[in-house]
């Protein structure tokens, strides 16, 4: 999901998501990573 620099894409997310949504996204990605393991 992130490009080579990562920072620009992450900044886009920060600009378009609230911090609550961003936190929920990070949480979901964490659970997905655990489930895939």
In order of 8, 16, 27, the CA distances from 33 in angstroms are: 23, 24, 10
pLDDT-derived band of residue 13, with 50, 70 and 90 as boundaries?
Answer: low
pLDDT at 24: 86
pLDDT at 10: 73
Q: At 13, list the tokens.
A: 């997310």
More confident residue, 5 or 2: 5
Q: At 17, list the tokens.
A: 């998501």
For residue 6, give the DSSP letter.
-
pTM assigned to the model: 0.43
More confident residue, 22 or 1: 22
Average pLDDT along the chain = 75
């Amino acid at each position: 999901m992130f490009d080579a620099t990562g920072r620009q894409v992450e900044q886009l997310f920060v600009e378009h998501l609230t911090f609550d949504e961003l936190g929920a996204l990070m949480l979901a990605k964490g659970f997905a990573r655990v489930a895939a393991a």
